[in-house]
Amino acid sequence: MKPKRQLVPSVTWIVAALLGLLLLAIFFTWLMEVRSGGHVRSVHSMNLRQIGQAALMYAMENDGRLPETNLGPDGIPTEGETTSVHRYAMALSRKSDLTSIGVFISPIDRHPGVHQDLRNRPIARGRQTNEANAVNPDFLESGISYQLIGGLAMDSPTTTPLAITRGLREDGTWDSDNGVYGTDGGYIVFLAGNIRWSRDLISEFGQLQDLAGAPTANILETLSPDHAIYGDPEPPIADGTRGVGARVEDRGR
């Protein structure tokens, strides 16, 4: 009686099975990254939307003017002082519910100057409505994922940018080193309250409007000389002073 033949899988079948499992693992990894990226981008845009709304709330209690370019350390306008992005954030926190540092930090921001571990810390010590309240030193330790524009007023054109994802350059592209998303793009929230994702500002449909209403890819051309852009870590359009943005008149306009 002949012994029964054992069924031994061929080498080809084993290799095919392993390749199939590998491809399946790669697919699920890709799917998780896509879902995670979509979630992060939603959080990022929500942060900017909240910042824009808080700025408008600030203007309602400040004779139609958004945070000025002379904010003191505690976010209160003071003669002889110069606004920084942290002072701007402090000012907004006094007039809104933006009390957490995390509102000003994108979850995807991996710049070494941004400290994700501080996201759950408060912006200020004590009650936000207290005029004597001081900024939390923890907040000053971290960079911010957004660039904020000071000196705006409610009667400025509604197409004026109010806050942007950090990394926008004068040529309308996003910086590979300082940009939160590298060169992929970023968000812009406008004075009208609307928010937009832009891969760049060069294309016909991605451009901003300058003071005369003409299309432009240079955000500085949308601002008058009494406006300033603040960002920390230094954005590409900063003047080289940490935390203090470039005033338009200093750039030869």
- Condensed to tens digits (0 to 9), the pLDDT of residues 78-132 reads 999 988 899 999 999 888 888 899 999 998 898 989 999 999 999 987 654 445 5
Q: How far apart are CA 106 and CA 165, in angstroms?
A: 9
Q: Please give the tally of structural domains in the chain.
A: 1
- Separation of first and last alpha carbons in the chain: 100
**Residue 93 lies inside a defined structural domain of this protein:** yes
CA angle centred on 70, ends 178 and 191, rounded to 5°: 65
**Residue 2 lies inside a defined structural domain of this protein:** no
**Residue 31 lies inside a defined structural domain of this protein:** no
**Residue 60 lies inside a defined structural domain of this protein:** yes
**Residue 172 lies inside a defined structural domain of this protein:** yes
Q: How far apart are CA 232 and CA 223, in angstroms?
A: 20
**Residue 19 lies inside a defined structural domain of this protein:** no
pLDDT score recorded for residue 235: 67
Which domain covers residue 53, as residue numbers?
Answer: 43-251
What the block records as the tokens of 156 is 């400025």
The pTM of the full predicted model, rounded to 2 decimals, is: 0.77
**Which residue stretches of the chain have pLDDT < 70?**
1-40, 126-133, 235-253
143: left (phi over 0), alpha (psi -120 to 50) or beta: beta
**Residue 148 lies inside a defined structural domain of this protein:** yes
pLDDT score recorded for residue 42: 79
**Residue 241 lies inside a defined structural domain of this protein:** yes
pLDDT score recorded for residue 162: 94
